[in-house]
Amino acid sequence: MAGMVRMRRSVGVGSGILLVLLGLWGGLIAFIGPYFHYAYTPDTTWTYNTARLWLEILPGAAAFLGGLLLIATSSKHVAGFGAMLAAAAGAWFALGTVLSPLWNNNVQLGGSPASTTVVMRIAEQLGIFTGLGVVIVCVAAFAFGRVVSVPAETESVEPLDAPSATETMPIQPLG
């Protein structure tokens, strides 16, 4: 394509892999966490509800997709979009439970930590929502800064060599 801004694919690979893993963690921890007593209510394995969709599955999928875009592309624009998508997912992990009463009749979505000790309740809050979101935002911001700061390698379309006015081509007789 004319004027396509390119970069080396290796620029976003490390951050992309980390974002893919963090997105998988965020999207799946609600379902597999109860196996090792690390969960929010309802603390049963593979239980789906709307709160898990909005607060864990969708932002986890967005961070996963942003990481894949960073890994797979050599376009600076696509990589930048992937980093911004992952940053938005991280922000939603961190702030989703706080903002959920706005659309849920003043009731916070997401449940409450299932553990009984204070330390484990804090670890669940940090590992499932707030801390995970902050880490995703930091990794995505690092990736975005790296994508933006790498010098662009612009591909340009060169015109075909056309004969100049001084060059003449011999005319071949037909037949």
Tens digit of pLDDT at every position of the chain (175 positions): 455 677 777 788 999 999 999 999 999 999 999 999 898 888 889 999 989 999 999 999 999 999 999 999 988 899 999 999 999 999 999 999 999 889 888 888 888 888 889 999 999 999 999 999 999 999 999 999 998 888 766 655 555 565 565 666 667 777 6
Q: What are phi and psi of 153, to 5 degrees?
A: -110, 95
Nearest Cα neighbor of 82 from 171, 31, 15 is 15
Total number of domains in the chain: 1
Q: What are phi and psi of 118, to 5 degrees?
A: -65, -45
Q: Give the predicted TM-score (pTM) of the model.
A: 0.82
Alpha carbons 65 and 82: distance in angstroms, whole number:
7
167: in domain: no
Q: Quick one: pLDDT at residue 68? A: 97
Is residue 49 one of the residues assigned to a domain?
yes
Number of other CB atoms surrounding residue 145 within 10 Å: 12
Residue 47 lies in a domain: yes
Residue found by looking up tokens 């004969």 in the block: 163
Residue 175 counted as domain residue: no
In a domain, 118, yes or no: yes
Domain enclosing residue 107, as ranges: 4-150
According to the model, what pLDDT value does residue 27 have?
A: 96
Contacts for 60 with CB less than 8 Å, ≥ 6 apart: 23, 24, 25, 26, 27, 28, 89
How confident is the model at residue 108, as a pLDDT?
84
pLDDT of residue 161: 60
Residue 111 tokens read as 């449940």
